[in-house]
Amino acid sequence: MDSVIVGRGLFVAMDSVIVGRGLFVAMDSVIVGPGLFVAMDSVIVGRGLFVAMDSVIVGRGLFVAMDSVIVGRGLFAAMDSVIVGPGLFVAMDSVIVGRALFVAMDSVIVGRGLFVAMDSVIVGTGLFVAIDSVIVGLGLFVAMDSVIVGRGTLVKNGSHGRSKNRHSFFAL
């Protein structure tokens, strides 16, 4: 009623999902590959990106909070906006690093596919992780109360009543 294992890596429970060797999705956290951790308030990508409701670290130097940004060893930017080089924009509610990173109090985009909000995450062209739902590739949908794998399997957990039905989907 609360868990599913598919292939070698997929574990889907009412509050967690593991895909392959890296993806862990819970009601408040997600890990993809060796680096991505996404929670309701934080995200780590690779070895450097940390995104929370109020902070972001990219590589070895970028720190973005609701009101401040530090890039490398010198840039501190504040309550409203900062642009560094050809790509970094940091405001109270948004950050862009390179061509794709957008970090706001409720959302993050890394590369061409990762969208992380308080209630949703998209990695590549297929992964959607929310407090109550997850889509991996073209087929996996995992919510607090239901799971769809491929195009046909539905696992419903009727005993769990906390699903918020917030299945917002964002793709680039």
If asked whether residues 75 and 100 sit together in one domain, one would say no
Q: Is the pTM of this model over 0.85?
A: no
| Boundaries of domain holding 153 | 96-171
The answer to whether 107 touches 171, Cβ cutoff 8 Å, is: no
Structure confidence at residue 98 (pLDDT): 30
How high is the pLDDT of residue 101?
31
The upper half-sphere exposure of residue 86, i.e. CA atoms within 13 Å in the direction of its Cβ, equals 3
**Is 90 among the domain residues?**
no
Last residue of a domain, one of 66, 85, 104: 85
Number of structural domains found in the chain? 2
Where residue 69 falls among pLDDT bands split at 50, 70, 90? very low
Domain end (from 85, 112, 135): 85
- Residue 170 has a pLDDT of 28
**Could you tell me the pLDDT band of residue 54, with boundaries at 50, 70 and 90?**
very low
Shared-domain flag, residues 103 and 78:
no
- Looking at residue 84, what is its pLDDT? 33
| Statement to judge: residues 107 and 74 lie in one domain | no
Say yes or no: 79 and 102 in one domain.
no
My answer on whether 117 and 58 are in the same domain is no
Q: Is 91 within a domain?
A: no
Same domain? 23 vs 44: yes
For residue 53, give the amino acid letter: M
Question: In terms of domains, do 116 and 47 share one?
Answer: no
Any domain includes 122: yes
Backbone φ, ψ for residue 50 (5° rounding)? -125, 120
pLDDT of residue 64: 35
Q: In what order do the strands lie in the sheet with 62-64?
A: 3-6, 10-13, 17-19, 23-25, 30-32, 36-38, 43-45, 49-51, 56-58, 62-64, 69-71, 75-77
Instruction: Classify 2 as helix, strand or coil.
Output: coil
Q: What is the DSSP string of 40-69?
A: SS-EEETTTEEE-SS-EEETTTEEE-SS-E
Q: Residue 159's pLDDT is what? A: 30
Q: How confident is the model at residue 134 (pLDDT cuts 50, 70, 90)?
A: very low
pLDDT, residue 51, reads 33
Last residue of a domain, one of 85, 118, 138: 85
CB contact set of 19 (below 8 Å; sequence gap of 6+): 9, 10, 25, 136, 140
Alpha-carbon distance 2 to 12, whole Å?
7
Residue 36 lies in a domain: yes
Interval 103-131: pLDDT, tens? 332 333 332 223 333 233 333 322 333 33
Average pLDDT, rounded, for the chain: 32
